[in-house]
Amino acid sequence: MNLAALNEIAEKMVTPGKGILAADESTGTIQKRFDAIGVENTEQNRRDYRELIFRAAEPMRNYISGVILFEETLYQDAADGTPLVKLIAEAGAAPGIKVDKGAKPLPGFPGETITEGLDGLPQRLEKDYARGARFAKWRAVIDIADGLPTWGAIKANAHALARYAAICQAAQIVPIVEPEVMMDGAHDIERCDEVTRLVLMTVFRELFEQRVALEGIVLKPNMVVCGKDCGKPASVDEVAHRTIAALKATVPAAVPGIAYLSGGQSDEEATAHLDAMNKIGGFPWKMTFSFGRALQAAPQKAWSGERQNVPAAQRAFAHRARMNSLASIGQWEGALEAAA
């Protein structure tokens, strides 16, 4: 393992003013996104949609440091035969690959899941690296509900994340370590805070035990927010202060950067929270975005599967990417949304 080279990629992924586009929806997840805009979930539609995003030169070049791809996309070509991964690399962004096989029921733990995908991972990574992937992603899912999460599920998911991260580093691929505490439910922000701290602490203990070099990872956590059905959402200021405090208490300073998931927050909420944290500052890591929905909901709606809507979709993507770029350096303002 060449740690200096891994660290260089990790630093590049969290370059101030840039962030990560999570375009790695599995075929099942993109189905939900396409259903919302009335587009049939075919291989060609998935290709056409993603191609229009990767060909949006201005935002790709200026605001996007890396793109997480689903395996299909990493090996897919644009309509003119150019590998999609080449479009990304030519824009100066690092191509990445989602390597987990999804969250499956955890035996003995009703309502909880374990993320699968460790078997054969070294061989897959070797192939993915040859195709251009320089980082990877693995998402662990932690649900909050009555009596959940259990310690057994947290421990199993943290261990799998650490095994994945060690395997990636051995393959010269930067692991995005993503333990997502879900927003689903009516829990308050205090509960999310408590669970997020326990999960992060457990993940970093497991990373240490599996000898993962923290300088060569990027952490992708949830923000500390209240549950979707909690009634009254917390203020932007409270989310920002609590998230920073939870991370400061649990994440070592050796980690180069934090790239948040959006997790079902609205586009503007996710941007406002990231911006508020960077305005507050006083933490040792870069803090940026690794958004899926909060970057793509607007362009997907603008596109709606129609070729003539491609320029409008690219403009919608450029706008959200620029807003989040500004948030990654604490220079976003709500007025910029209205102006657009």
Whole-angstrom Cα distance, residue 258 to residue 290? Answer: 9
For the bound state, the minimum distance from the C-beta of residue 260 to ligand 13P, rounded and expressed in Å, comes to: 8
Query: Closest distance between ligand 13P and the C-beta of residue 79, in Å?
Result: 26
Spatial CA neighbour of 94 closest among 121, 127, 67: 67
Please say which residue, 113 or 262, places its beta carbon nearer to ligand 13P. 262
- Subset of 141-200 contacting ligand 13P (CB under 6 A): 178
Shortest separation between residue 264's beta carbon and ligand 13P, angstroms: 7
CB of 139 to ligand 13P, least distance (A): 4
* Residues catalogued as catalytic: 178, 220
Minimum distance of ligand 13P from residue 158's CB (angstroms): 16
The smaller minimum CB distance to ligand 13P, of residues 166 and 259, is found at: 259
Among 169, 165, 167, residue whose Cα is nearest residue 140? 165
Contacts of 199 by beta carbon, 8 Å cutoff, 6+ apart: 142, 149, 154, 158, 179, 181
For ligand 13P, the closer of residues 3 and 34 by Cβ is 34
Closest CB to ligand 13P among residues 73, 130: 73
CA distance 244 to 150: 24
294 binding ligand 13P? (CB under 6 A): yes
For the chain, give the longest Cα–Cα distance: 53
Task: Check residue 293 for interaction with ligand 13P (CB under 6 A).
Answer: yes
Contact flags string 247-266 toward ligand 13P, x per CB under 6 A: --------------xxx---
Residue 14 contacts by C-beta under 8 Å, 6 or more apart in sequence?
A: 65, 218, 256, 257, 258, 259, 285, 286, 287, 288
Closer Cβ to ligand 13P, 32 or 61, answer by number = 32
Q: How far is the CB of 170 from ligand 13P (least distance, A)?
A: 23
In whole angstroms, what is the distance from residue 257 CA to residue 13 CA? 8
Sign of CA pseudo-dihedral 279, 282, 288, 289: negative
Nearer to ligand 13P, 183 or 255 (CB): 183
- Least separation in angstroms between residue 4's CB and ligand 13P is 27
Residue nearest to ligand 13P (CB): 292
Establish whether the linkage from the previous residue to 233 is cis, with ω within 30° of 0: no
**Contact with ligand 13P (CB under 6 A) among 13, 22, 258, 287:** 22
Using alpha carbons, list the distances in angstroms from residue 54 to 24, 50, 123, 249, 330.
13, 6, 27, 37, 26
Q: By the 8 A CB rule, do 305 and 291 touch? A: no
Name which of 229 and 306 has its Cβ closer to ligand 13P: 229
In the shown chain, the binding pattern of residues 73 to 112 toward ligand 13P, with x for contact by CB under 6 A and - for none, equals ----------------------------------------
Work out whether 322 is an interface residue with ligand 13P (CB under 6 A): no
Interacting residues of 245 by C-beta distance below 8 A, sequence separation 6+: none
Taking CB under 6 A as the criterion, the residue among 139, 273, 286, 322 binding ligand 13P is 139
Residues 263-292 that bind ligand 13P (CB under 6 A): 263, 291-292
DSSP H stretches of helix in the chain: 3-13, 27-37, 43-54, 57-63, 71-74, 84-90, 121-130, 151-170, 189-209, 236-250, 267-280, 293-303, 310-327, 334-339
Q: How many residues bind ligand 13P (CB under 6 A)?
A: 10
Q: Which parts of this chain interact with ligand 13P (CB under 6 A)?
A: 22, 139, 178, 261-263, 291-294
